[in-house]
Each structure stands twice: as structure tokens, then as C-alpha cells.
């Protein structure tokens, strides 16, 4: 007689993923996820997802495997100038509203859930494209991700053609040099960027570059549980300077969910501005 364990193993695994990373996977993605995890079972010599769960829960090498798991689970799509209007808003509306001449020090931006760095470098390219550096603006772009392999990739700055799908031919030549069938970001666009590993879903996250004037966290929170979502937004609230801006993806919204950010309509987009909670 078979026990009830197939469903149980699956739930245990999903609960662990939610607990460790704050990520949520719907039943509809089960087969997809099983397909991505099966090679790990083979690599570790494990016969079932139950054995894999126990390995992740109690094995002495669980820390290393959790890193691998994070890499597998967060291998999401990203590309340069995704939702390009956000970068226009940054240079045309947000930066001017931050009263730059009066603000001491560089503009500080965080790209949270940066994946392979496409977003962070897109910000630099946008700021340079608007010639803001020539107008005396300096910046520091911090970028973090849960996946250590993505951080390595971001630091390398080498991309497949797929990552450049929103760049026209001119943009490709202006910002990248061809390296075989891949593209290397030109060194000048790395200016002022730094990458580090961070889990947005854990309590007590320390974002070393805070306070930030702007935080980008787009198409990341859709995979978060309700609790992890609120925790991440609270991190952003703490890490933003007074009146700082938060950019979310088009499928993510704070309206009706948080009162510590005020939705602001800029052109046809909604961005969020930190509200002072009086603390």
C-alpha cells in the first residue's frame, strides 16, 4: 500500500522554499519545477523529492545546496531596458524631483532582485544617455540578488543576444562589444555599480548602501508569498530616504496593500513614493 507521501513531500518542499526564500509556487508550476529539480536529485544520488527535502532540512551540506536551489528557482527572465518607460521616468521626472543641486553626495539607487545585472546597467546607460553625468550628477547603483551565480554573471557583464532583445542595432553597438556570439558591456557603463548577494524575504536584512533615493524591484515580488512580500516592502521602506521612489513591475501593486507608500502617477505609469510614518 502506498502512503500519502507524494503530496506531502511536495508540500514540505514548497513550505521550505517559502520559508527560506519567501518564494511561492502554484500547483500549475509543479511539473515545471519537478523538471528543474530532478537533475539535483541525480547529482546528489537521491531517489525521491522526500529524500531531497530531508537533505535540505538536515544534511550538513544543506547550506551549499540551498544556494544551488536558489539559483534554480530564481533563474527568471530579464533583459536590458525591460519596461523601458521606467528608465525614461527616472531621468525625466524622478531625478529632477529629487532636487539634485541641493542634494549632497551621489544619487543612490538599488536594483533589488537584479538577476544578471541587466536592470542596474540599464539605469547607468539611461543616466549617461541623458548626459546627467556631464551636468555634475554622480551616482552609485547597488544591485542585489538571491542567486550567487547571477551576481557573478552580473559582474562579468557578458550577455546572450536574448538579453538585448529590447535594444536596437544602434544601442547594441553603442553599449556592447561583440564577443563571439555574445555581447560584452562596454566598461564605461559599469561606472558606479556594485553587486552583492541578498535575500529580500528574510527578516533583519541589512542593505549597506542605504539610504537610497530610488529602488527598482520589478517582476520579483510576484513570486513572493504574502508575508515575504510585506517583509521586502518593509525593507525598502527602511532603506529609502524620505520621499524616495520605488519602482515595481506592471503586475505588482501596493495600492490597497500598504499605506506607507503613496502611489504617484507619472505619465501613464504608477510609481510609489515613501510616506513618512512618523517613526
Partner 1 sequence: MTVEALSDVQERLAALQAAVAGAERDQAIVAGLKDASPLVRQNAVALAARYLAPELLARFLADDEDATLRNGAQAALERQGPHAIPHLLALTRDANHELAFFAVQILSTINDVSAKQALLPLLDHPDRNLVQAAVEALGHMRAVEAVPALIRLLASDSWLQFAAASALGRIGDARAVGPLLERLDDELLAEMVIEALGRIGDADGLEPLLDRLVSSDRLPLRDQLLLAVAAILEDNPGLRGVRARARLWRPDARAGLRDYLIGLLAMHDAMLARSVGVLVVRAEMWDLMPALLQRNPDPGEESWLEGMLRRCRRRAQAELLPLLQHTDPRVRAGTLLQVPFDAGATSAVAGCLQDQDPEVRAAACLALGRLREPSAAAALAHALRSSDAREHTAAARALAQLPGESLAVLAPDLEPEAADEQRQRALTVLEQARSTMHEERVRALVHDGPPVVRQAALRVLGRYPGRATDEWIMAGLRDDELAVRIATVEILVRRRCRKAIPALIELLPGADPLRYHLVRALGRLHAKVAASRLQALYTGAPLHERIEIVVALNQIAPAGVLPFLRGVLDDPDVELRRVASDGFVRAAGPRELEAMVALARDADWVVRNHAAWGLGRLGLPAAQPHLAALARDVEPLVARTARAALGQLAADNPDVKA
**Residues of the shown chain interacting with partner 1 in the complex, contacts defined by CB under 8 A:** 1, 3-5, 7-8, 11-12, 45, 47, 51, 54-55, 57-60, 226-227, 230-231, 234, 237-238, 257-260, 277, 279
**Integer-rounded Cα radius of gyration of the chain:** 20
End-to-end CA gap in the chain:
59
Cβ distance to partner 1 smaller for residue 236 or 247: 236
**Sequential DSSP letters for 170-188:** HHHHHHEEEETTEEEEPGG
Q: How far is the CB of 31 from partner 1 (least distance, A)?
A: 10
Cβ distance to partner 1 smaller for residue 28 or 99: 28
Q: How far is the CB of 276 from partner 1 (least distance, A)?
A: 11
Residue that has been written with the C-alpha cell 518564494 in this structure? 23
Positive or negative CA dihedral for 224, 230, 231, 232?
A: positive
Task: Confirm if 23 and 17 have CB atoms less than 8 A apart.
Answer: yes
User: What's the length of the chain?
Assistant: 279
Cβ distance to partner 1 smaller for residue 38 or 138: 38
Q: How far is the CB of 221 from partner 1 (least distance, A)?
A: 14
From the CB of residue 23, how many other CB atoms can be counted at a distance below 10 Å?
19
Q: How far is the CB of 180 from partner 1 (least distance, A)?
A: 12
Cβ distance to partner 1 smaller for residue 6 or 152: 6
Cβ distance to partner 1 smaller for residue 133 or 260: 260
Q: How far is the CB of 41 from partner 1 (least distance, A)?
A: 11
Which ranges of 167-262 would DSSP assign to H, the alpha helix? 169-175, 226-239
Distance CA 50, CA 43 (A): 15
Q: How far is the CB of 225 from partner 1 (least distance, A)?
A: 10
- Classify residue 215 as exposed, middle or buried by CB count within 10 Å of its CB (0-12, 13-18, 19+): buried
Positive or negative CA dihedral for 166, 263, 239, 99?
A: positive
Q: How far is the CB of 238 from partner 1 (least distance, A)?
A: 7
Residue that has been written with the C-alpha cell 510616506 in this structure? 275
Cβ distance to partner 1 smaller for residue 124 or 254: 254
Cβ distance to partner 1 smaller for residue 7 or 206: 7
Give bridge partners of residue 108 from the DSSP assignment: 140
Task: Confirm if 260 and 274 have CB atoms less than 8 A apart.
Answer: yes
Amino acid at each position: 500500500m502506498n502512503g500519502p507521501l507524494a503530496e506531502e513531500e511536495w508540500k514540505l518542499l514548497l513550505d521550505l522554499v517559502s520559508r527560506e526564500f519567501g518564494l511561492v509556487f502554484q500547483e500549475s508550476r509543479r511539473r515545471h519545477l519537478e523538471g528543474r529539480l530532478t537533475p539535483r536529485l541525480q547529482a546528489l544520488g537521491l531517489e525521491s523529492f522526500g529524500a531531497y527535502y530531508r537533505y535540505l532540512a538536515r544534511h550538513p551540506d544543506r547550506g551549499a545546496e540551498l544556494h544551488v536551489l536558489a539559483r534554480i528557482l530564481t533563474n527568471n527572465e530579464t533583459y536590458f531596458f525591460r519596461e523601458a518607460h521606467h528608465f525614461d521616468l527616472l531621468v525625466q521626472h524622478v531625478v529632477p524631483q529629487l532636487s539634485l543641486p541641493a542634494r549632497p553626495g551621489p544619487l543612490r539607487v538599488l536594483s533589488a532582485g537584479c538577476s544578471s545585472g541587466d536592470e542596474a546597467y540599464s539605469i547607468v546607460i539611461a543616466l549617461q544617455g541623458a548626459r546627467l553625468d556631464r551636468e555634475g550628477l554622480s551616482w552609485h547603483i547597488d544591485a542585489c540578488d538571491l542567486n550567487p551565480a547571477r551576481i557573478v554573471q552580473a559582474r562579468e557583464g557578458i550577455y546572450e543576444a536574448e538579453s538585448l532583445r529590447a535594444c536596437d542595432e544602434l544601442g547594441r553597438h553603442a553599449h556592447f562589444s561583440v564577443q563571439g556570439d555574445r555581447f560584452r558591456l562596454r566598461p564605461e557603463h559599469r561606472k558606479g555599480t556594485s553587486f552583492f548577494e541578498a535575500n529580500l524575504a528574510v527578516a533583519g536584512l541589512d542593505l549597506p548602501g542605504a539610504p537610497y533615493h530610488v529602488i527598482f524591484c520589478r517582476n520579483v515580488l510576484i513570486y513572493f508569498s504574502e508575508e515575504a512580500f510585506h517583509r521586502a516592502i518593509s525593507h525598502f521602506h527602511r532603506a529609502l530616504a524620505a520621499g524616495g521612489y520605488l519602482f515595481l513591475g506592471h503586475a505588482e501593486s501596493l495600492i490597497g496593500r500598504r499605506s506607507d507608500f503613496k502611489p504617484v502617477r507619472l505619465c501613464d505609469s504608477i510609481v510609489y513614493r515613501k510616506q513618512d510614518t512618523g517613526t
